Amino acid sequence: PGQRGKVGGQDRKGGRVYSTMGSRRVWQGVFVGVLLATVLVALADAGPPTHRPTASSKGSPVRTASKKHGLDPSNFLVVVIAAVTLVYGASRALRPPFVDMGVSSNQEAYEELAEAGEMQLHTTFMFVIVASGSLVLIFFFMSAMSVLITILFCFISSVALGNLVYPYLDRYTNNKYAREVEVPVLGEMPLLALMMAPFCFACAIAWVLTKSWILNNLLAFSLIIFFLTSVRLSSLKVASSLLLLAFCYDIFWVFISSSIFGKNVMVTVATGLNVPIKILVPLVFAHGKHTQFTLIGLGDIVLPGLLLCFAMRFDDAKRIEWKGGYFAACMVGYCVGLTICEYVVGTYHWAQPAMIYLVPGTLIPFTCVAYNRKELAEVWEGLKSGRLDKDLMSP
């Protein structure tokens, strides 16, 4: 009694709803940032995940494994990191930390925010169109766009970092700084969010200045969680459309674009941009004085991750035990697909997008579970918000 639980600042006593980053106007700006982040995430899928060179601020590349380097334990550590990230991201997308979803006002506030990021069938086509257009634009105007995207990404990743740590700091401080303050242009914001802002921007600026791989991973992880908790899928129909379009997108821009544009557009853009759109893992058996990395693009985590988030929500709504549910099947398929990709790339150094393995690795297990449970028609149409409201009321 007397304790407060929040959905980004939901006051259980007074019933007032605060968004994590402030007023509705702030959230509109945040979702614009999500759209920009979507484009950048799409750009992250450029060729083999282990041997992709990326530019640095000083013009020297982040050093990845050479063709002389064989399979490394870091190749499989990437799979573990991706899996852990997806488990956390899906859990947080299902229920925010420290929130009692049995309280109707909390649940309604969260559903209102979640539905704002609901991806529809037509949105999946717009995703590929916008991403492809942005890819071509950056390809032809690399020098100008590189500066602009770095600035935009600093803002987006700062917001994402704040979104990641806000509920934990709010809990640690016993909600002492949850009251709203008026901020010019942005409107009302929780005081804690305002206090966090300089630290979050400082992390982004520090990454720009140092290109530290640790800061890179912190910002990349923040962006993954921000995306998975801000955008969601609610049907297999939309998920299939998104993943199959992403599959074709990868195939075209990695393997076919060079015959049209004279160069591999995807690889050219990925090597010319240096923003935290990948997670870097140092090689264990690297040789030489410079640190070498294996990496995975955010698109290889986020896009299949949206299906995994839907799988966890559906398991929860149907009260399915995790061992025999949709999420477990998809997670196993994801890990198997990514492991095969890492093995092929690490051993044979063949250029290939990871989505070739991840799309069938997640869609096929999900479909098989639905078929075996005789729920294929139900998952195809998906979860309706009315039913979901009722189902998620219990913790």
Ordered alpha helix ranges (H), the chain: 24-43, 73-94, 104-116, 121-140, 142-172, 191-210, 213-230, 236-251, 257-261, 265-272, 299-318, 326-348, 355-372, 376-381, 385-391
First to last CA, the chain: 17
Task: Say whether 250 is catalytic.
Answer: yes
- Please say if 170 is a catalytic residue: no
Measured N-to-C along each axis, helices 24-43 and 265-272 cross at an angle, to the nearest 10 degrees, of 120
Biggest CA-to-CA distance, the chain? 67
Give Cβ neighbours of residue 133 (< 8 Å, ≥ 6 apart): none
312, 38, 101, 385: CA torsion to nearest 10: -80
Give the number of other CB atoms < 10 A from CB of residue 374.
8
Q: What is the CA radius of gyration of the chain?
A: 21
Distance CA 44, CA 360 (A): 19
Query: Residues 6 or more apart from 122 whose CB is under 8 A from it?
Result: none
Among the listed residues 11, 170, 250, 315, the single catalytic one is 250
Where residue 64 falls (left for φ over 0; alpha for ψ -120 to 50; beta otherwise) is beta
Cα–chain center distance at 202: 22
The residues, any chain, with a CB within 8 Å of residue 218's CB and separated by 6 or more, are 161, 203
Q: Phi and psi of 62, rounded to 5°?
A: -65, 125
| Given the residues 300, 315, 316, 389, the one annotated as active site | 300
Residues 6+ apart with CB under 8 A from 21: 8, 27, 30, 159, 162, 163, 166, 189, 193
State phi, psi for 188 to the nearest 5 degrees. -80, 140
User: Among residues 283, 319, 339, which one has the least CA distance to residue 392?
Assistant: 319
Phi, psi of 250 (to 5 degrees): -60, -45
Is the Cβ–Cβ distance between 317 and 392 less than 8 Å? yes
Instruction: Return the active site residues.
Output: 250, 300
